[in-house]
Amino acid sequence: MTEPITSAPAHIDFQARLTACFEGRVVSDPRQEPYFRQVLGLDDGTWAETANYQAMLAASWLWRVLLTEVEPGERRLAFAQVVKLYELEREQGMYRGECLCPDPHAGMHLEAHTAILCAALEHPRPKLMNLALDWLGRALRLYVALAAPDGEPWAPGLRTKTPLPRNQAAAALVREVLGLPHRREKGQIVAAEKLEIPGTSRSPYYFASLRWLRRLLAERPMLRRELRHRATTAPFPEKLLLPLRLTRFEGGLLATLEQPPRPPRTGWLDPVDWLLVHWSSPGKHEAQAGRAWATPPPSVPKGARILERLAVPAKQ
């Protein structure tokens, strides 16, 4: 049964489509809805709106054509849109104009890409599977490098509405893949199943991607080993919109995003350009942040033992 989205287009509409896909329901054909046509550039080739909208819509369209019989032209176009999504991610940098955005937007990206991977595995499509697995592996690799010992990533990024970036969606995936305890705010340890339940903790913003991933791992035990390998030793993203520099030292990290050469566009609002984090107890860390390149980043604490330095370049 097709269930069209009837409310005003917003992130909740795109997430509702993915929720329906997860439950095995068939969503509407994006070609029949003018706003969705605009998002995926079906009329003039130019994709509109934000990168997270595009990823969620492409993912739900892929599920639509795999769950039901559609005419071959729609199937080919849906596949082509997913391929185009990954081409844009490579050309413009991971997360594109929303460079390292925290929750809720990061959760939407992660949900879309885990949904694509799940679709490509459950309804075998090797090319799409490889594209999604490569993207998710590189994302996990970066988040692990930015993570505290308890698995919580600390990433500077754009579209940060809170004083410090929150990356609970990424933390859930990192902890699930690495076998670390799941946690709520204030350090409370919980089971992954508790995080998965819709409505229990800011769902679907944070933990929808965990529901997709756990289904995959339950059905394919070897996938956990593959994702763990990619998260710890595989390549980082090839590029980001803005260059990222990371120094891990004993007891913490310093991560910075370089200032763009031109004034920020609308999609670049609310940037956190640097984070200095000191580990304390699990779930409790001391963090400082810089906003909108108003202050230069601090130095690594004097005398701290450097453990790792890395850099992810910007798009050319």
Helix (H, G, I), strand (E, B) or coil at 274: strand
* Helical ranges in the chain per DSSP H: 11-22, 34-39, 51-67, 72-92, 105-122, 126-145, 168-178, 192-196, 208-219, 221-233
Residue 276: what pLDDT?
Answer: 98
Q: What are phi and psi of 209, to 5 degrees?
A: -65, -30
Q: How far apart are CA 146 and CA 278, in angstroms?
A: 12
Dig out the tokens for 141 from the structure.
Answer: 């690799």
Q: In tens digits, what is the pLDDT along the chain, a chain of 316 residues?
A: 444 444 445 788 899 999 999 999 999 999 999 999 999 999 998 998 899 999 999 999 999 999 999 999 999 999 999 999 999 999 999 999 999 999 999 999 999 999 999 999 999 999 999 999 999 999 999 999 999 999 999 999 999 999 999 999 999 999 999 999 998 877 788 898 888 887 666 666 779 999 999 999 998 989 999 999 999 998 999 999 999 999 999 999 999 999 888 765 555 678 999 999 999 877 678 999 999 999 999 999 999 999 999 999 876 5
**290 in the Ramachandran plot: left (φ > 0), alpha (ψ -120 to 50) or beta?**
beta
Buried b (16+ CB within 10 A) or exposed e, 15-54: bbbbbbbbeebbbbbbeeeeebebbbeeeeeebebbbbbb
Q: How far apart are CA 249 and CA 93, in angstroms?
A: 26
Residue 9: what pLDDT?
Answer: 59
Amino acid (one-letter) located at 48: A
Dig out the tokens for 218 from the structure.
Answer: 């339950």
User: How distant is the alpha carbon of residue 12 from its chain centre?
Assistant: 16
Dig out the tokens for 309 from the structure.
Answer: 């330095």
Amino acid (one-letter) located at 59: A
Residue 204: what pLDDT?
Answer: 63
Q: How far apart are CA 125 and CA 128, in angstroms?
A: 6
Sign of CA dihedral 224, 251, 253, 165: positive
Residue 188: what pLDDT?
Answer: 82
Q: How far apart are CA 272 and CA 291, in angstroms?
A: 5
Q: How far apart are CA 185 and CA 94, in angstroms?
A: 27
Q: How far apart are CA 61 and CA 59, in angstroms?
A: 5
Domain spans, the chain: 2-233, 244-312
Residue 201: what pLDDT?
Answer: 64
